[in-house]
Structure 1
């Protein structure tokens, strides 16, 4: 088998892979999975993951490796024993291009990686055999490239990336439709069919993620308060930011920072 050089793997996957990193859940092995506008894949090095949803009925489910679609609710991830693994996030078009299923099929839920992409079922065991981060990264990237080869007809063209770019660059759905030269109804149908969420929900997720990024930067630099973070992320004020975080994360921004950033994992 020909091994693709690291820089070529990264270049080929650049438009699909938003992040690829190692993680360590730290003491207790618990992590709050925040609402997300991307598809995430979490692959533990050894022990399986137990995942439950805050505010939803039902018992937590156990997965050897997990794929999570776009979701507006917080989840709890618990990994006993070894708390390390690999975590990556994919843009919505990557679901079809790399995994072979549309992002809408994964929206609001989690599933085992082996069920979503059977050809990647080997990754947890192969990952456990790796002895360095370059080996782990290469393993994951080679598997994603193989998925891209299998699903080359599912890349979806340029319409979806252009649609998502318009939504991310505007504050209102109607403005995004105007930029795209289509009706709001057409835009809504495109986004619902591809992502499983409405355009407004997608923009809500983007604003939430912008706030998360601003919060982390502010906490680490000690340069900004919640009011500044709220303004930078597009919220009306600090109270609006706090209400949205309670609704979407199940906690306040300060509580999340204390648990996940200042004393816990940053992923």
Structure 2
């Protein structure tokens, strides 16, 4: 659903998902410029960082901070629920702590404890809500939280930092971002790490990667590389292996099977 205006500073997207596959399997959760808040329905979410079985959680809620490695989601063939992409400001406003405290972590609402008391009963409420109304329920609960913020002390970022985060997540290079907001690269790095838990360079990488993901299957890989600021197609492929754990063509085959008939989408992978 469209993000309600009251939530726009805090929520990048709010999506209800309902997927039925032929049988059990795994889904690749890719790094993003947003924190991920998932509320599964019918069965708990089984997720871990790829290659790190000790990080595995199986629960009715999942909160993952910014990260530069893929996650592995195990499923029985059916995946239903609501997924919310939170901005760094949204972490402060809705979860009660800076995104830096969540970087590289997989948590549940129970782990957050007193920091998110209004959200703790949301999984139970969602389970009893018809599929068509789930997004609206989550949006209503999150909007109520922001209403309380407006009545109390507002949660804000200094304007220069907010602009810097926006530029980096759009894939603008670090030096250009620092020049735009009038910070030295060192000072920019200090502020961005304190807020997000990632360096400006890593956030820029995520922004460029995220943009490339939106173009895969729609444009030839060489064109995607140029449009997203990679040196060449080989550079794009290396970044995908590093951040996604697979080359672009593998992700296309896994997630976008209908584009396998488009030769341009498969070139040179």
Range into which the TM-score falls when normalised by the shorter chain: 0.7 to 0.9
Corresponding residue number in structure 2 for 1:123: 122
Q: TM-score under structure 2 normalisation?
A: 0.85
Structure 2 stretches lacking a partner, 5+ long: 259-269
**How does 1:146-225 map onto structure 2 within 5 Å?**
146-152=144-150, 153=153, 155-157=155-157, 158-168=159-169, 171-216=172-217, 218=218, 224-225=219-220
CA separation of 1:150/1:114 partners in 2, compared to 1, >3 Å: closer, same or farther? farther
CA separation of 1:45/1:170 partners in 2, compared to 1, >3 Å: closer, same or farther? closer
Size of the aligned set, in residue pairs, is 251
For residue 227 of structure 2, the aligned residue among 214, 224, 232 is 232
- The answer to whether the 8 A contact 2:170-2:204 is kept is no
Runs (4+) off by over 4 Å: none
Corresponding residue number in structure 2 for 1:3: none
1:243 and 1:49 map into 2 onto residues whose CA distance is 30
Q: Is 1:68 matched with 2:64?
A: yes
CA separation of 1:131/1:172 partners in 2, compared to 1, >3 Å: closer, same or farther? closer
Post-superposition CA distance 1:133-177 (Å, at most 9, x none) = 2x2122101211222244453522434321213334664312211
For residue 15 of structure 1, the aligned residue among 1, 9, 14 is 9
Post-superposition CA distance 1:75-98 (Å, at most 9, x none) = 011233742111111111111012
- The answer to whether the 8 A contact 1:44-1:84 is kept is yes
Q: TM-score under structure 1 normalisation?
A: 0.86
- The answer to whether the 8 A contact 2:29-2:70 is kept is yes
- The answer to whether the 8 A contact 2:30-2:71 is kept is yes
3-state SS of 1:58 partner: helix
- The answer to whether the 8 A contact 1:100-1:154 is kept is no
2:154 and 2:35 map into 1 onto residues whose CA distance is 16
